Amino acid sequence: MEHTNFDEDICFNNTYLLITGKKTIEEFLDSDADLWFLHNPEDQPLRHNNPIYEELLSYFIYTEEYEKCQEIVNLQTKLKQIIYN
């Protein structure tokens, strides 16, 4: 894979795809895509109150991708319910 300069949009979108389950880490590794994430995908799963969610929301509000924002909020709500139920 060719090394390219950091691309913020790729980083945020990769993180979004991974945390929402739209793409697995294996799928990323099997592709030629640049592998930038806001977190280490090998770490423990993100809890509902992880600051990465706020970073994602801020970014996708800025880029006016409101459907992604709603999915992130829904994911946080589901995770919170799992923890507290």
34/45 Cα distance (integer angstroms): 21
Is residue 58 within 8 Å of residue 73, measured between CB atoms?
A: no
Q: Please report the pLDDT score of residue 84 as a whole number.
A: 75
Cα angle: 33, vertex 34, 35; to 5 degrees: 110
43-62 confidence digits (pLDDT tens): 888 888 899 999 999 999 99
2-46 confidence digits (pLDDT tens): 567 899 999 999 999 999 999 999 999 999 888 999 999 988 888
- Spans of all domains in the chain: 8-84
Q: Please report the pLDDT score of residue 57 as a whole number.
A: 98
Cα angle: 60, vertex 35, 74; to 5 degrees: 35
Residues 6+ apart with CB under 8 A from 76: 48, 49, 53
Is the pLDDT at 1 greater than 60? The verdict is no
